[in-house]
Amino acid sequence: MAEAKNMVYLALQNNEDARGIIEAIEEDNPHAEINHFPAMVKIDAKGKLVVNKATVEEKIGREWDPQEIHVSLISLSGNVVEEDDSFAVVRDN
């Protein structure tokens, strides 16, 4: 659902699979706000949230394809930008 102008978010399951992703997001997006709900972590940010393959791999200790995020994703808001080494949601208005 659209929120205030140019806010984006990613909501992920709060489980082992997603833990490395959440930690990577925290590290690479200092402007992001992390909120915990029952079984879910919602990460809000202004303008852009990026999940970097390299950071996640460092957290989880194995190779990681950014599209693996689909297994843990609950919801998102923003325009999706998928590259080989990252998954991002952006809103630039």
Binding mask 3-42 for another protein (x = CB under 8 A): xxx-------x------------------------xx---
Closest CB 57 distance from another protein, rounded Å: 16
Distance (Å) of CA 80 to CA 30, 49, 56: 20, 10, 18
Strand locations in 1-93, DSSP E? 7-13, 33-37, 40-46, 48-52, 73-77, 79-83, 86-90
Site for another protein in 52-91 (CB under 8 A): 65, 67-68, 70-76, 80, 82-84
The answer to whether 28 and 50 are in contact (CB under 8 A) is yes
Q: By the criterion CB under 8 A, which residues form the site for another protein?
A: 1-5, 13, 38-39, 65, 67-68, 70-76, 80, 82-84
